Structure formats: structure tokens, C-alpha cells
Amino acid sequence: MDSFSFPQHVSGPTHTRGHPLDLVFTLSLNADGVCPEDVYISDHHCIFFNLSVSASPPPARRMVSSRFLNESTASNFSAAFDPPCSSDDDPDSLTSQFNEHCLSILDNICPVRTRSVPAVNPTPWFNDSLRSLKRQYRKIERLWKKTHLHVHLLHLKDLLTSFNSAVRDARVSYFSNLVSQSKGNPKVLFNTISSIVSPAPPTASIHSVADCENFLSFFVDKVNKVRSSISPSALSLPLPTPTRPIILDSFAPVSLPELTKLGNSMKTSACPLHILPSSLFKSAFQSIGPSVLSIINASLVSGQVPAYFKNAVIHPLLKKPSLDPSLHSSFRPISKLPFISKILEKVVAKQLTAALDEHNIYDSFQSGFRRAHSTETALLRVSNDLLTHSDAGDCSVLVLLDLTAAFDTVDHHLLLERLRDWVSLSGNALEWFSSYLSERSFSVAISKFRSSTTSLTHGVPQGSVLGPLLFLLYLLPLQHILSSFKGISYHLYADDIQLYISFKPHEMSKLQLLHTCLDSIKTWMAGSFLQLNEDKTEILICAPDKLVRKVRDSLGQLASLTKPSVRNLGVTFDPALDLDSHVNSLVRSSFFHLRNIAKLSPILSRSELETVLHTFISSRSDYCNSFFTCLSRTSLNRRQVVQNACARLLSKSSKHTHITPLLLQLHWLPVNFRIHFKILVLVYRALHGQAPSYIGDLLSPYTPSRSLRSSDQSLLVVQHQAKDQR
């Protein structure tokens, strides 16, 4: 250390057994008065010394204003709630009376109080019992320092041992409760554990109302810039509208039991616009339910949405942890709406979805925000088509399109037209959506700061219940454009668009059709006030190595968009479609999380540790594994190594322990069998109408050429398999 100019200042033993184990090194600092001293805490001595450094400022505190709810708040509120009598059926009047009555009760039983709290959040498991123990041993510590009696030192050591043991028990109990409470909600469990073992992602730097105003201006200007960039000449692309009967002309009122069930199924959320916190709203629903029912049914019957329901608070959410939090463009606007408005949207969405399913309105190749559809089913269909053409000796080109601020640029007038002409809504139902989209407003709020309110003249709110559904209906005309190009297949997941075309090596001229298709898409999107993000448009060429260059040259202007690999809905595709790049990323991230989980293993029980492993590792490994049959043995073995490491961590076994008995003991299927099991599950669902129709279309019933005993067994045709896969 002397060669690095780090002088050592301790001389003499620093351990109870007389060894110099504890050292002090300094650089450009002068340490004097070095004195090892036995302070009873450990068998190591504490080393005291003096340093001349600038004093750090005391930790800052912040003022928090909130209502402090406790276990009795819900019962006290329910007892005080007396539904206001009103003969008025106007939704705005009913909502105003309800909010005023709830606010007056809250001001009586739990008024808003302001208190000073530490700027840094305290340790969550440090409870009142631990604080009492800490005060007790601190009191004895002061007594021992005053008397220096050995009996007081022994008492202090006993108290300190008890305190440390209680801290360990409280920490274990805290994490156990976290895991057990979130056992049925992997998303909450993942976020909770991630916040403990990983650094928190950066948040928006907002320290004043002016910062909120800057975010508000950025979000408004961003959308206005996109809309103003659209050429007026592009606003006409006539498409024939489908002819179908009216599917929904009014919404049916709901009953109190139905509304109660719906409200209990919804997740709680925080929003500055809440009169009643969502947790209290659900706890006291038995008393406030009839009043809420009156508001909901009045809105459904009258076709009017209360103004209170149409005001949103925008929370800027960082798109990716790796992005620069100092840039406004790194954030996505997420709308936070009153909890009661989400209940109304849930009621409407339930009735609208039932009508859409009954009349088959959805685009069959749209997998976003639909029951029984997922990213896995979408990627399974796309990868199956690409692999089938590859086996036939064809070349394929996959184009991934991305939209700029797609949800925020939706035109309300066009959306209402498509609800009328393409979905066939009319009457009171169409009037309700017209009211829902009109006179909307929003503001930006972070912490205690909030911007002014501005009107929302276009866009569907991200974070709402109806927003995603309305966006899917807004895209309905796109399916007619895409399906008109024979030879080009497509798949949609919300605003993520996949186009792919396959052709024989001597049919390179077919790629011209891809240019025509993209031009038609751009023209239609311009007329719909949607804009393609050309910076994020990617193209993957799936062809033999000797033909890749020829295919790229045939793409013309699109050649510059080709990539060696593309990330498609969370899965990395490569030209060979062997997913080696995806497996590399999967294994790397799995071991990263596994190392973090290992830090928590000493304070988790076996069952809790298994739950955490499934949440962080198994769910990641099983994501979209139904099309992992194309993996090489090397890639399968690498994924199996991850599972083996999880099994050894859970069973506390060494790396030399034979893994097969461990997997049998844990009842874990090996990776290869998990892939086949997932395929069997999807096949079962497809046969029983629980999977997308585009998955069921891939199954071929086995029909023997003559009468056999197997004719009535509902068998499927087994496609040709390679010898090593049989």
C-alpha cells in the first residue's frame, strides 16, 4: 500500500485475541489520535481517530400533506356516510353531490395533516417494537458510559444481542409477508423485489410547478408537431365501409351485485384527483355502493359522462431505465383517472367487448388487448409462417413498423366515425362515446407539484380502461388495406405492426409489392393522423447467406433499414431463426437476477424463495417458449443450466450434486419438456376455442383414407419431423 501512497495508521492489536486485524489507510488526509478501543459490540475493537474534513449538511426533511388512514377509517366512514337524497338524474349533479358528501366526512374523521418526514424513506421493517428495544439499549449504554460498571456492560451486551436478533426476525417477517401477499400477483412481486435488490430507476426531475409546466408543454407540442407534419393532400384514402347491422345502440344498466363484483376485481391506484382513496373506496363500497350505482347508471342511460370523470393527471414515466432522465423525450405520459371513472369505463368496456366478440368485429390478426391473445400467440404464428417458408426453401423479409405517439394522436372525429361506420354503434351508445371524448382535460403532477390544466382535443388516454380498446377500433380500416395485398402477411399487436413476405429465390421482383404496401400504409396513416417512426422501422432478411446480399439489393431504399437481428415483442429474431441471440440475452439476464435473489435467500423460507425464483427466472425463461423448438442443442443446454442453478440455489446443493433427482424432488419439468408442454397447452386451447383463430387454423384434423378405429379419436395430422426430433 505504501507504493500507492496509502499510509497505515494503526499500531497494536485490534482483536480480543491480540491480533492486528483492523487497519486504517488514508490518502491526502491526516488521521491523528488513532486509538483502538473495546466497545463491547464485537470481538473486534473500534478504532477511533480524528480527521479534518468539511462537514456534510444535515439530512434534509420534507413536508408531506395527506390523510392518515388507519384500520378504523373504513368503518368510521361507512357509519358516517348517509346517501344524499336527490331526484336529479343528471350524472354531473349526482357526482358533485357524492364527492362533496364524501369530502365532508373525510374532513371530519381524517382531516389533511402536514408533517415533516425524512427525505430518505426509513427502513420498512423497523417497527415500533424495534424502536422500543433500541431506546432501551441506548439508555443502558448511556448508563454504562457513566458508571463503567461491568454489570451494566453485561446487561448492555444482552440487550444488544436481543435487539440484533429482533431486527433479523423483523426483516425476515417483512420479506415473508411481501412474498406471501404478492404470491398471486407476479407483477407486484417482481416490482417489490426489484426495488429491494436493484437500484430504483430514475424519476422525472421535478422540483417546482414550472417543471410540471415544461412537461405539459412538451407533451402538447409533441402531439401538435406530429399532427402538423401531416400533408393535407394525404387526408383522402377512400375505403369501402362494411355493411352490418347495428351491434349496440344503448348500454344496459348494471345491478349492485354486478357493480360490487366489478369494483372488487379492480386494482387500487393512487391519483391526486381521488376524493376517496381507492383502498378506502373498495373497503367502504358496501355503504357507498348504491350512490355509485346511481351515478354509473345515470351516465349509461343518459349517454353523458360526468365532467369529473374526464379530467386526468399525467404522470411522466421513464420509458427505459437506460434513458437520460434529464430529457423530456425519455418519458411516456401515463394518465391517472379517478377510481370511480375507471369503474364506469369497466362497465362500458365489458358490454362493448361482448358485442364485438359476438359480431366478430376485431381484426383476426390483431392480438393486442384481447382475451386469449398474447404476444406469445402473435409471435408463434409469425415464426411458424417464417419457418414453414424457410423449410420450403423460400426467402422471407420481415418488416417491423413502429408509430410515434400513436395513442396521443388519435383524432376524435375520425374515431367517432369509425365507431359508427366500422363498428356499427348508434343511438345512446354512440352519444356516450361522443361525450366521453369531448371536453377532456389533463395536467401534469409529480409529488406536491402540479401544472395548470389544458384541454385534450385528440388522443385516447394511456392508463385508462377504454383507451386501448378504442385504439384497436381506430385501426380497423388498416386490416382492409393490408389484406388487399396478396402475398404479404401481417400481424398487429396494438400499434406494433409486422409485415412479412416470402418468395422463391428467383422471385425477387415480388419485393416491389412490399414498397407499394408500405406506401399505402403511410397514406392511410397520414389520413388518420398517425405517423410511422422511421427511425425505429427495422427489416430482417431470412434467407441463405449466399442470397442475403441479393435480397438486400432488391429492397431498394429499404435496404438501409435491414438489421442483423431485430427485437420483436420481447424476442430477438435473427436471420437463421434459431434464436441464438435471444438465448444469449435470456441466460445473461437470468443469471443477473439469480445473483440478486441469492442475496435474499438467507431471509426467505424455501417456499417463498421458490415463488421468487418462479417470478424472476421461470417466467422469463418460459416467455414465448412455445416456438423454441427451433433451438439448437447448445441453446437448450444453456437454458437448462439456468434451471439447474435455480434448483441448486433452492435446495442449497453444491454444483457437483446430480441434478436429475433435484428436479424430480421439486417436480420441475426440464426445459425441453416445458417447451413441449406449452405447445400441448396451446393445442388444447385451440381445439376448445380458448386460443386465437389464427392458431387453430394451423391445426389439421387427421382424416384416414379408410374407416379405422382411430377415426373418431379427434387426432391431428403430425407434421414431418427430423430424425433427431422423433
| Residue finishing a domain among 549, 573, 597 | 573
What's the average pLDDT block by block, 10 residues per block, for the chain (726 residues)? 76 83 83 79 82 70 79 90 79 93 91 78 83 93 90 90 91 82 75 69 72 90 85 60 88 94 87 88 92 94 94 87 82 88 95 94 93 94 94 94 89 94 94 95 86 91 88 94 92 94 92 93 90 90 92 92 93 92 94 89 86 89 90 93 95 89 93 94 92 92 79 75 48
Same domain for 17 and 48, yes or no, is yes
Q: Say yes or no: 186 and 46 in one domain.
A: no
Structural domain contains residue 422? no
Check residue 720 and give its pLDDT: 58
Position 376 scores a pLDDT of: 95
Looking at the DSSP bridge assignments, the partners of residue 333 are 316
What CATH number corresponds to the domain at position 509?
Answer: 3.30.70
Q: Are residues 605 and 621 in the same domain?
A: yes
Q: How far apart are CA 237 and CA 260, in angstroms?
A: 46
Burial 187-219 (b: 16+ CB within 10 A, else e): eebbebbbeeeeeeeeebebeeeebbbebbebb
Q: Which three cell numbers stand for residue 627?
A: 416456438
490 & 593 share domain: no
Query: What pLDDT does 143 receive?
Result: 93
Question: What is the predicted pLDDT for the residue at 197?
Answer: 66
Q: Is residue 468 part of a domain?
A: no
Q: Are residues 622 and 676 in the same domain?
A: yes
**Do both 534 and 391 map to the same domain?**
yes
Residue 385, in any domain of the structure: yes
Asked whether residue 493 is assigned to any structural domain, the reply reads yes
pLDDT of residue 248: 94
pLDDT number for residue 464? 87
Same domain, 588 and 723: yes
Do 142 and 192 lie in one domain? The reply is yes
Q: Which domain holds residue 10?
A: 1-54
pLDDT score of 483: 92
Asked whether residue 593 falls in the same domain as residue 566, the answer is no
Residue 241 lies in a domain: no
Q: Which of 155, 171, 197 is the last residue of a domain?
A: 197
- Of residues 320, 318, 65, the one with CA closest to residue 215: 318
Q: Is residue 722 part of a domain?
A: yes
Whether residue 687 lies inside any domain: the answer is: yes
CB burial class (10 A; 0-12, 13-18, 19+) of residue 63?
exposed
- Quick check: is 145 in a domain? yes
pLDDT at 204: 65
Q: Examine the domain organization and report whether 14 and 44 are in the same domain.
A: yes
Question: Which residues are within 8 A (CB) of 459 and not within 5 positions of it... i.e. 6 or more apart?
Answer: 223, 407, 408, 409, 410
Provide the number of structural domains found in the chain: 4
Do 554 and 600 fall within a single domain? no
Hey, what's the cell of 71?
Answer: 384500520
**Amino acid 203: pLDDT:** 66
Of 197, 220, 242, which residue constitutes the final position of a domain?
Answer: 197
- Do 582 and 565 share a domain, yes or no? no
